[in-house]
Amino acid sequence: MNRVFNFSPGPAALPEEVLSQASGEMLDWHGIGMSIMEVSHRGKDFMALAQQAEADLRDLLDIPSNYKVLFMHGGAIAQNAIVPLNLLRGKTVADYVDTGSWSTKSINEARRYCTVNVIASSKGEDYVRVPKQSEWQPSKDAAYIHVCTNETIGGLEYQWTPTSSFDVPIVADMSSHILSRPIDVSSYGLIYAGAQKNIGQAGVTIVIVREDLIGQAHSHCPTVFDYKTQIENQSMFNTPATYAIYMAGLVFQWLKRQGGLVAMEQRNIEKADLLYDALDHSDFYITKVCKEDRSRMNVTFFLEDDGLTPVFLAGASQRGLANLKGHKLVGGVRASIYNSMSVEGVRALIAWMNEFELIHG
């Protein structure tokens, strides 16, 4: 077995020790003679596991007690519908900040349920920056303000915390940078995140929601996607994605062993700084995102001679640097350096970038 450095944007690399543990426990979890994926979600074993996973997540993110944690089906894209179905609460307008592909998906889906007011957008600047809060032009009567705090495709990240009034909560899609740094949960009304970047395997979505916001879902909201229903049923109104929750729980424990999110943020800063410094010291590679809005998770860049990009990617792949191709919408190169990516992996990428520039520069 020869593990590669996997820069996949998602589903993404997981810590090797988490995968090893899962592999070892696959046929017999904790001596019960069954896999954890073979037991009832309502049995004592899985219930205890799910409770521990929630407790560890609460601990890691320091989630206040007036926030509920849900493990839902459907991915972040389902939340693009589930959020307005739950949070409009009789209102007809919601505010959205447009910072790229994922914001746009959220906006388009919300338009099916309400009037969307795009209160700020960097579309006209080819999404190279995050509009500052001072530029936002919020509606008078919005049900909520939606932001995507890390744009996986463009490589933008909020390096600041948006603020709003209690009545107009901020809703944040944090799919691609949750758990990469401490956050102030109390600044948000609702946070959602698909699992397949920093949490675990695709198929489970984490929702953290302030409890006063629930209980007014639209009558057409499928019951299983009514936050109130899921809260009342401990995320088990239907059978949850049990194995995905198990994997998430293993990742949460791994994060705690790493020192939690303060330590994780330091490591992520170190990795991102190494890579952006290398990019900034070269004319061969080009970055487009404004420095203050650069994502620590998804580092997007281009070769000055774009014709060399396939050669760069093929050589990277041969050296065990996998899945570096940029998203088809933007092209170029994208290094997704989530929590599981080691400093060693980033150094190996930089070594290849330098080698490639020496040959072709």
In angstroms, what is the minimal distance from the CB of 155 to its own copies? 17
String of DSSP letters for 40-73: -TTSHHHHHHHHHHHHHHHHHHT--TTEEEEEES
**Chain residues that interact with its own copies, rule: CB under 8 A:** 1-4, 6, 8-14, 16, 19-20, 22-24, 26-28, 32-35, 37-41, 43, 73-78, 80-82, 85, 109, 112-113, 194, 196, 201-204, 218-220, 222-225, 237-244, 247, 320, 322-323
Nearer to its own copies, 77 or 274 (CB): 77
Nearer to its own copies, 102 or 356 (CB): 102
In angstroms, what is the minimal distance from the CB of 42 to its own copies? 9
Nearer to its own copies, 147 or 244 (CB): 244
In angstroms, what is the minimal distance from the CB of 161 to its own copies? 27
Separation CA 24–CA 18 (nearest Å)? 10
Nearer to its own copies, 120 or 206 (CB): 206
Nearer to its own copies, 78 or 185 (CB): 78
Q: One-letter amino acid identity for 81?
A: A
Q: Which of the residues 173, 228, 271, 352 is marked catalytic?
A: 173
In angstroms, what is the minimal distance from the CB of 201 to its own copies? 5
In angstroms, what is the minimal distance from the CB of 182 to its own copies? 26
What's the helix, strand, coil split of the chain in %, to 5? 40, 15, 40
Nearer to its own copies, 16 or 305 (CB): 16
Active site residue 102: yes
Instruction: Indicate if the alpha-carbon torsion angle 133, 134, 136, 141 is positive or negative.
Output: positive
State how far Cα 340 lies from the chain centre: 13
Q: Which two tokens stand for residue 21?
A: 């543990």
Separation CA 58–CA 3 (nearest Å)? 31
String of DSSP letters for 72-84: ESSHHHHHHHHHH
Which residues fall within 8 angstroms of residue 18, CB to CB, at 6 or more apart?
247, 250, 251, 254
Distances from the Cα of 198 to the Cα of 94, 156, 193, 262, 299, angstroms: 28, 17, 9, 15, 15
Q: Which two tokens stand for residue 18?
A: 């988490």
Q: Which of the residues 29, 95, 98, 102 is marked catalytic?
A: 102
Active site residue 167: no
Q: Which of the residues 68, 197, 228, 325 is marked catalytic?
A: 197
Q: One-letter amino acid identity for 30?
A: H
Active site residue 173: yes
| Contact between 151 and 100 (Cβ < 8 Å) | yes
In angstroms, what is the minimal distance from the CB of 340 to its own copies? 9
**Active site members:** 102, 173, 197
